[in-house]
Amino acid sequence: MKRSLLVIFIFIQWCGLCYAQQYALYNTRTLFDAFENPSQKAFIPDSSKKYAFNFFVPNLSFSSEFKGNMPAQTTLKKILFKRIFDASNLINTSGMNNFYADQNTYLVMLRIFGNVYLNSEKGFAWQIKTDIRGTVSNETLAILHNSNLFTSGTPYEDVLNNSLNGISYHQFSFSYRENYSKRLGLGIKLSYLSGIGYSSLSMDKSEVLVDQLNNTYDVSLKGKYRTNILLNDPGDKIIQPGIKNPGLAIGISANYKLHRGWYLLGNLKDLGFI
């Protein structure tokens, strides 16, 4: 008993260092849950209709993650919890921070119930996804707050060597699930991908020189920027799906119900290429 209490106490202390929030629709029997986790059921045999459709009402989801060093985390917590932007502790730290964001919009979701014995279901979906990831320096956050935090007349070299990668694409998918047994359910999701846009930015050299007397600063940057979108490309043609930038993806999911009511869910989500 004492060992169990010790483990729980250590776990609580460790969780005290975590600052995160996550919302999920796992095991809710919604259309979103059924397409994100193909083994999940969207129908109740005794009360559901044969078809489930979103009537072209988009389903939106967004998630983000910021993983930084201690000075940057302190600044971010002040912004989130105290509404104070204080970047005075970020100068001369040479720290880099990683961030990630993704957007997932289901435009069309259609689910069809098969038979009662296997609880089989098949579905068709059209979604648009965007993935963004990059690195940002502490000094970048500082200069966004106040350039006077930098010492006047002193050149700061390679403090803005940031990077950014982003991709957006259509995903057309077919999914199927059934019960392998009374406790085990299996599902698969096969997808065709159609690329919309890709951009990559990488800074190799940078310099910041602040003139506090005139309240100005000079920034010089050297790096690489790549994209498949040209300035004169018509916007409607970029968004339209096609076969110009194709790709494939597969998702595999399984759920298992234990004797005491515990519910296990495993999902290999959208493994593929574009």
With a cut of 70, which residues of the chain have pLDDT below it? 1-25, 231, 233-238
Q: What count of other Cβ atoms lies within 10 Å of the Cβ of residue 229? A: 13
Q: What count of other Cβ atoms lies within 10 Å of the Cβ of residue 169? A: 21
d(CA 261, CA 234): 54
pLDDT tens by residue, 153-180: 899 999 999 999 999 999 999 999 999 9
pLDDT for position 113: 93
* CB-based contacts of 261, cutoff 8 Å, min separation 6: none
Cross-strand bridge partners of residue 130: 103, 168
Residue 56 · residue 108 · CB < 8 Å: yes
pLDDT for position 129: 96
For residue 251, give the nearest of 84, 71, 40, 37 by alpha carbon.
Answer: 37
pLDDT for position 126: 97
Strands, E assignment, the chain: 51-53, 59-67, 96-113, 121-137, 156-157, 163-179, 184-211, 216-227, 246-257, 263-273
Residue 265 · residue 244 · CB < 8 Å: no
pLDDT for position 25: 66
Q: Which amino acid is at 58?
A: P
pTM of the model: 0.82
Residue 195 · residue 247 · CB < 8 Å: yes
Phi, psi of 232 (to 5 degrees): -95, 10
Is the alpha carbon torsion for 135, 141, 143, 148 positive or negative?
A: negative
pLDDT for position 213: 87
